[in-house]
Every structure is written in C-alpha cells, then in structure tokens.
C-alpha cells in the first residue's frame, strides 16, 4: 500500500508539472503571436508617422526625376539614424488568450534602442531607389498582474530595397529577422526570417491631411522552442501573411492625428497548426506632438481582433492597448 501511495504521489507531481508546463508553453506561444515586430524603416511608411518603436519621422521633397526623395538622406554615401523609444501602456490581454476582452490585464513598459542607414540614393528616369538596413533591441517588461516571469527581450534587423515613383506609389522588397528571448530563463523562445514585398500609395486629401494605403505579402519562417523536450512542432508558427492598411495623417496645429485600420490574413501549414487560418483586424488612433525637433511625445489607443478557423484549441482573441511613448532620435 505504501509503495502504491508513493507511486501515485510521483505520478500526480509529474502530471501537475506537465500540466503547468503545457499551460505556460501555450501562454508563451500566444504572447509570441501577439508581439509587435517592426520590419520596415520609416521611409517605407509614407507620410511622417511612427507606428513602431524603431521608426523616425520622415519628410519628402521632390527629386530631379519627379519622385519623392526622403530629405533626411544625403545625395551620396550613407545616411544613418539612431534613437531610443520608451513606452508605458495598459494591455488588456497580454498573452493573446481566447475568451473575453480582458484576460490577465497588465501594465507594460518597453524600452527600444534602434539604428539604421540609407545606403545611398540612386535616381533612374522615373524613380528614386534606396537600399536600407537597420536593427533594434527591445526590453519588454510586464509590470503588473504577476506576469513578470514572461518578461522578454526582442532583437530585430532588416534589409530592403525601396523604389519611390513620382506618382506617389512606391514598391519594396526585403527581409527581416526577429528573435524573442526569455529574461527569466535566458532562453530563445522564438525567431523568424520574414522575406516580404509590398506596395504603398501616399496622396494628399487636403492641405492638412495625407492618406496612406499599404499592401504586402510575406512568409514568416519561424521557429519556436518553448517545450524544451519536444521539437516536433518547432516550426508551427510559420505562415504566409497577406496584409493591407489605410491611414490618415491629419495635421492640427503642432499635433499629428493618425487613425489607422489594418487587416491581415495568415495561413499556416506546419505541425499542429497545419490547416489553420487567421483573420486579424487592428484599428487605432495615435496623436504625436513634437516637443523639439528630435523628441516626440505620443499617445495612442489600439484594438485588435483575431478570428481563427481552429476551435480546439481556440485561437480567437480580442485585446486593446492604450498608453504614451517618448521617442528620441538623431541622424547623421
């Protein structure tokens, strides 16, 4: 009887740890899918705006070809920029969990260091062509809700070729690299290579408003290693993504008001996610205020909704964020 009780106790402990580990794994993977991953320099975004932490304000001026040249770039040689962004915000569903809108709500504090360069400006008869490279490093901290064990650091890098035409259209082709590492466990939970192509159209609605349409397609070649003892589904988060967005940049005194809507469709084919399709909607508004030329204060609100064709497990989720950020940047 004593041996039976000891055996039962051991099995219970093992089962309990396995259950907790599986739950933690699912939460980590959900967080991974909900993580923002900047993959473009600011010059590929059109009008002066900054959706991601590694972007800096860009202005445009006419080139000899009639296309739009980023004025922060030199005519020849390398034009570099670097900066720092700190963001403090509330997130209703930080682990992208299924269910109601509010899931383990928390405050978050992120700090990003970024840099990049335009590798010269090359003019053709009808376009301006510029290659870009860049990199960023972000510290992501959950400061409320007991989620500090999920704190992580993100590394990113990109290289692309941007072609801008005189009619307001631009096309781009590039590849980005992203990686997330657990602060607590000192392990790499996720990494991906993302080759992508896109088109953008920027045009003036009136004297104070610029509209930006953007569409892209790319392949997320991802690896997630969160189970530790089972790598059979290490590429299950790999997907093909189709996305489109529409934004308005409205200038009001010194403020820039930016409402934006984005829709994306992802199709998965690896591991347990084989046959999974996700449709995501993101809507938000952002208000920028330039304190000085190189320092910008922003406030924003974002709402996200994802619907998946997979019901077991349920990948549907809703989330909203609101907060403030301060971005300091310089160029040389």
CATH number at residue 250: 2.40.160.40
Question: Alpha carbon of 100 to those of 96, 145, 305, 314: distances in Å?
Answer: 11, 17, 11, 12
State the average pLDDT over residues 157-186. 92
Q: What is the spatial distance between Cα 328 and Cα 326, in angstroms, rounded to a whole number? A: 7
Q: For the ranges 3-7, 113-117, 125-129, 306-310, which has the lowest average pLDDT?
A: 3-7
**Burial class for 12, CB neighbours closer than 10 Å (0-12, 13-18, 19+):** exposed
Percent of the chain exceeding pLDDT 90 equals 50
User: Domain count of the chain?
Assistant: 1
Q: Residue 9: pLDDT band by 50, 70, 90 thresholds?
A: very low
CB 143 within 8 A of CB 84: no
Average predicted confidence (pLDDT) for the chain: 81
Confidence of residue 111 (pLDDT cuts 50, 70, 90): very high
pLDDT tens-digit readout, 136-158: 999 999 998 788 888 999 999 99
Three-state SS letters, the chain: CHHHHHHHHHHHHHHHHHHHHHHHHHHHHHHHHCCCCCCCCHHHHCCCCCCCCCCCCCCEEECCCCCEEECCCCCCCCEEEEEEEEEEEEECCCCCCCCCCCCCCEEEEEEEEEEEEECCCEECCCEEEEEEEEEEEEEEEECCCCCHHHCEEEEEEEEEEEEEECCCEEEEEEEEEEEEEECCCCCEEEEEEEEEEEEEEEEEEECCEEEEEEEEEEEEEEEECCCCCCCCCCCCCCEEEEEEEEEEEEEECCEEEEEEEEEEEEEECCHHHCCCEEEEEEEEEEEEEEEECCEEEEEEEEEEEEEECCCCCCCCEEEEEEEEEEEEEEEC
In this predicted structure, what is the pLDDT of residue 325? Answer: 95
pLDDT of residue 94: 87
Nearest 10 degrees: Cα torsion 59, 62, 65, 70:
-20
Nearest to 125 by CA among 61, 67, 52, 73: 67
Residue 75: the pLDDT is 52
Give the rounded distance of the alpha carbon of 176 from its chain centre.
Answer: 11
Counting residues of the chain whose pLDDT is more than 70, the rounded percentage is: 76
pLDDT in tens, 90-107: 999 888 888 767 778 899
Q: Which domain holds residue 234?
A: 2-331
């Amino acid at each position: 009887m004593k041996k039976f009780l000891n055996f039962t106790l051991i099995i219970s402990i093992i089962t309990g740890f396995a259950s907790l580990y599986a739950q933690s794994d699912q939460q980590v993977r959900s967080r991974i899918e909900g993580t923002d991953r900047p993959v473009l320099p600011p010059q590929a975004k059109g009008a002066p705006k900054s959706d991601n932490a590694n972007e800096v304000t860009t202005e445009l001026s006419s080139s000899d070809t009639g296309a739009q040249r980023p004025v922060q770039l030199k005519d020849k040689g390398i034009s570099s920029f670097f900066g720092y962004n700190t963001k403090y915000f509330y997130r209703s569903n930080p682990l992208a969990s299924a269910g109601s809108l509010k899931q383990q709500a928390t405050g978050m504090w992120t700090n990003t260091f970024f840099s990049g360069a335009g590798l010269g400006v090359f003019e053709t008869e009808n376009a301006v062509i510029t290659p870009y490279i860049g990199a960023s490093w972000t510290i992501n901290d959950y400061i409320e809700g007991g989620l500090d064990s999920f704190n992580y650091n993100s590394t990113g890098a990109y290289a692309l070729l941007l072609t801008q035409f005189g009619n307001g259209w631009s096309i781009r082709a590039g590849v980005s690299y992203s990686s997330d590492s657990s602060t607590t466990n000192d392990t790499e939970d996720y990494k991906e290579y993302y080759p992508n192509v896109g088109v953008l159209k920027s045009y003036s609605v009136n004297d104070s408003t610029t509209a930006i349409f953007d569409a892209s397609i790319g392949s997320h070649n991802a690896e997630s290693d969160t189970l530790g003892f089972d790598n059979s589904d290490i590429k299950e988060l790999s997907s093909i993504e189709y996305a489109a967005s529409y934004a308005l940049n409205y200038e009001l005194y010194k403020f820039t008001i930016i409402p934006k809507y984005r829709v994306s469709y992802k199709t998965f084919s690896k591991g347990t996610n084989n046959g999974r399709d996700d449709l995501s909607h993101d809507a938000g508004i952002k208000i920028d205020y330039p304190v000085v030329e190189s320092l910008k204060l922003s406030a924003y609100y974002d709402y996200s909704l994802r619907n998946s064709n997979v019901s077991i497990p349920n990948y549907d989720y809703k989330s909203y964020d609101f907060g403030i950020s301060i971005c300091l940047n310089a160029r040389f």
